[in-house]
Amino acid sequence: MNTEDAKKRLYELYDIIEKHNYSYYVLDEPTVEDDEYDALMREVKALEAAHPELVTDYSPTRRVGGAALSTFEKVTHTVQMGSLQDVFSEAELYDFDSTVRREVEPRYSVEPKIDGLSVSLEYRDGVLVRGSTRGDGFVGEDVTENLRTIRSIPLRIAEKLPFLEVRGEVYMPRASFAKLVAEQEENGEQPAKNPRNAAAGSLRQKDSSVTAKRALGIFIFNVQQVEGKTFTSHSETLDWLAEQGFPVVGHTVCHTIDEAVARIRGIGDEKHGYAYDTDGAVIKVDDLAQRDILGATAKVPKWAVAFKYPPEEKETVLREIEVNVGRTGALTPVAIFDPVLLAGTTVSRASLHNQDIMDRLGIAVGDTIAVRKAGEIIPEVVRVARSSGNALYKLPDICPVCGHAVEKDGDESAVRCVNPNCPAQLLRGIEHFASRDAMNIEGLGEAVVKQLCDSGLVHSSADLYELNEQDVLSLQGFKQKSAGNLLKAIENSKQNQPDRLLFALGIRGIGRRLAELLLRKFGSIDGVMNATEADILGIDTFGEVLAKNVCEAFADEQMRELVERFRELGLKFTYDKAASGDKFSGLTFVLTGTLPTLKREQAKEMIESMGGKCAGSVSKKTNYVVAGEAAGSKLTKAEELGVAVITEAQLLEMINGGEGDSNDEDHKD
């Protein structure tokens, strides 16, 4: 494809993908299936790779994050990003209205107050050029690359004004917050306190690819500056922003203070059902000229106030404290209390996280405690309302599962069981080993892992590779076909790149991304095992704690023995960047039907990890159709066009070293 045709198609794809993003992330109305969307993105990546001179700042590929930053540059706000005066009662709302009416006859815009991190977005000629945090209102930080990863932010807008600055609130949806906390608890890390803190921490990540994984959202609530257009009211600006593709905060125009107060009550009733946190409602004079008349004090505008809802807390009696053991050995205390209704659901348990937090609470079994929901979703103990007089609770000195001694880990808050053979650690460790981002063994979920451990068939993750059909058939719920599928899935996982294995080993703080960075630096599992802390500190994003965790993990004799078993079992140890990235370069695959052992997502991931593309439909440019059971019209189309049809087994053979080299001219587009 020549450059002009590539440019035309590429920019057409940009428009199509942004429309799909707007429908999905702003309107919550998907307009395309995932595989079709993925195919569009792969086409963009292929065109950009072939024509890098055509790549723009508003390419959707900029949303996945890029290289790590060493620092954030300071940004001076030409229009101050100020704060609002808080009020806490309806009487204060009426007082605000009386003050306003001394100067003007207002109508009001009432909006939920999103509990997040305030940011500025700047557009020149319709294209996003900079995004920054509020900071102290006068000076913030440039976090443009991280903001690009938020898919609801338009990278360009239809009306190409010379300059536009808008203000919005970045938030972490409650579902994303719950997932993040669960991962942090599982890894023995200090969990985020609430969605707002989690959003702030995510937006200030030095590695924007980490931000991209946090699934942040944004609501735009103000035009800070604009050139080339005029507005007469705040509600007019919000309607225009919505037309330009911005996710705009919900707003209601009210003509009296009674209407405004009623709407604020309504938001208070509705807020538990929102997908995000609100900590109040904002009432603003809608007319922009009236705002100029009202002016501002040295600290806050006189034309708006923020109403803060009282936090919903319930008192209940703490009946017991249960202690769970995670895969890293961390002991997590969980409060069990009389059920209470909070934010629309009944709760009876909440994590107390660690001994330090329990010490700050001064908590004992039998106390009356105050409970609320962090992020309207995760129950937390706020304080002791009335003491029972019982002894303050202390975590046990021995592991409640295996009876081995526990230790406080350096400066960390966590107390850990130091027995590597602890059954609880074994169970959680194998679940982690088989999880999607680790070895991705389909069918090896929590219930199956528990059966394997309880039956004595598995004492370490390496034992999974020595299971036979009779072993699996002895488990509840397995028949010959399902047993065969599980064994094939385990065997197939041997072909994973070693960054997955490194992540699967469960080294504290080492996620999939960091595991990949280690393998890219040292080339193999052996290289990582023999690296010093100084060697590891030479990698961006690695600090002293992470470097120490890696070195201490591989200094452990049992870890080295486990790694040697994996070597003997045939798992991959050498990171083959070239093979991973290029083997299927230039090849297009179409998946159809039900494959014997692989889910479609797994097969797609394997193909794409080797540089191939997965399309949603068959065409003359398709190189291979991978067909499973009940393959339909795609198989027929392939036969009509003479496209090669292969089985899952043949695909795996290609991946493991068979045909399919991208230098084979017969298979190039």
Catalytic residues: 113
Tokens of 31: 């307009």
285 to 223, 297, 301, 569, 575: CA distances (angstroms): 14, 16, 10, 70, 60
Euclidean distance between the first and final Cα of the chain, in Å? 11
> CB 332: neighbour CB atoms within 10 A?
20
Q: Is the dihedral of CA 94, 100, 106, 109 positive or negative?
A: negative
Q: Which token pair is 519?
A: 């393998």
The letter for the amino acid at 181 is V
Residues with Cβ within 8 Å of 668's Cβ and at least 6 positions away in sequence, in order, are 586, 662
Query: Do 303 and 291 meet the contact criterion of CB atoms below 8 Å apart?
Result: yes
Torsion of CA 9, 10, 11, 14, to 10 degrees: 120
Looking at residue 393, the DSSP 8-state letter turns out to be P
**C-alpha to C-alpha distance for 545 and 210, rounded to whole angstroms:** 18
**3-state class of 531 per DSSP?**
coil
| CA-closest candidate to residue 631, choices 621, 620, 639, 622 | 639
User: Could you identify the residue written with the tokens 């370490």?
Assistant: 460
Rounded Cα distance, 6 and 45, in Å: 12
How many residues are present in the chain?
669
Angle between helices 257-270 and 90-101 (to 10 degrees): 150
Q: Identify the residue whose tokens are 């995760």.
A: 378
**Across-strand partners of 416?**
330, 407
The radius of gyration of the chain's CA atoms, rounded to the nearest angstrom, is 28
H runs (alpha helix) in 337-435: 355-361, 423-434
Residue with tokens 């900071």: 135
HEC string of 434-464?
HCCCCCCCCCCCHHHHHHHHHCCCCCCHHHH
CA distances to 125, 491, 616 from 660, in Å: 45, 21, 20
CB 186 within 8 A of CB 268: no
Pair 385, 393: CB distance under 8 Å: no
Using CB atoms within 10 Å of the CB of residue 77, give its burial: 0 to 12 exposed, 13 to 18 middle, 19+ buried: buried
